[in-house]
């Protein structure tokens, strides 16, 4: 098998394509989360705290004159939001998947009512003889 043919088979495997789609979606999702943090969370929740510290962005928080712990804090907030959203997505997907209930195996077919009555009748006839 030629190198190009082998590469072609590898590149079009379902797992590789799925992973590529996941990476692209992940990149787009990262931009959404960043916008959510910068445009929604920061103005609503963090603005009062940042104004008290005379800062405009959380990334500007520093300690000991140069250690930018604000960048770390921003990354932690991003991570927590991403983790929560992914948790909610997985929970929703699992709810939609709803496993089909496993049917109990059918009970072995026993004799019908008529067959039982016939057997009882025959036993009574044999006892009378």
3-state secondary structure (DSSP) of residue 63: strand
Mean per-residue pLDDT, 89-104: 77
Greater model confidence, 90 or 41: 90
- pLDDT per position as a tens digit, 22-59: 888 888 888 887 788 778 876 777 777 777 777 777 77
> φ and ψ at 64, to 5 degrees?
55, 30
List Cβ neighbours of 61 (8 Å cut-off, separation of 6 or more): 53, 55, 68, 69, 70, 73
Using CA atoms of 109, 113, 118, 119 in order, give the dihedral in degrees to the nearest 10.
60
pLDDT higher than 80, residue 101: no
Q: What is the pTM of this model?
A: 0.46
**Does pLDDT of 70 surpass 80?**
no
Give the least confident one: 3-7, 15-19, 98-102. 98-102
User: How high is the mean pLDDT of the chain?
Assistant: 78
**pLDDT at 2 exceeding the cut of 80:** yes
Does the pLDDT at position 118 exceed 80? yes
Between 100 and 22, whose confidence is greater? 22
What is the model's pLDDT at position 69? 77
76 or 50: which carries more pLDDT confidence? 76
């Amino acid at each position: 098998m030629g190198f190009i043919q082998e590469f072609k088979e590898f590149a079009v495997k379902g797992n590789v394509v799925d992973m590529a789609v996941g990476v692209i979606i992940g990149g787009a999702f990262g931009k959404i989360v960043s916008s959510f943090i910068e445009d929604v969370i920061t103005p609503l929740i963090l603005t009062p705290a940042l104004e008290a510290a005379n800062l405009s962005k959380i990334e500007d928080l520093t300690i000991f004159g140069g250690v930018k712990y604000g960048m770390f804090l921003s990354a932690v907030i991003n991570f927590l939001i991403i983790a929560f959203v992914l948790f909610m997505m997985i929970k929703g997907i699992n709810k939609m998947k709803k496993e089909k209930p496993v049917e109990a195996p059918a009970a072995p077919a026993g004799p019908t009512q008529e067959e039982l009555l016939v057997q009882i009748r025959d036993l009574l006839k044999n006892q009378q003889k």
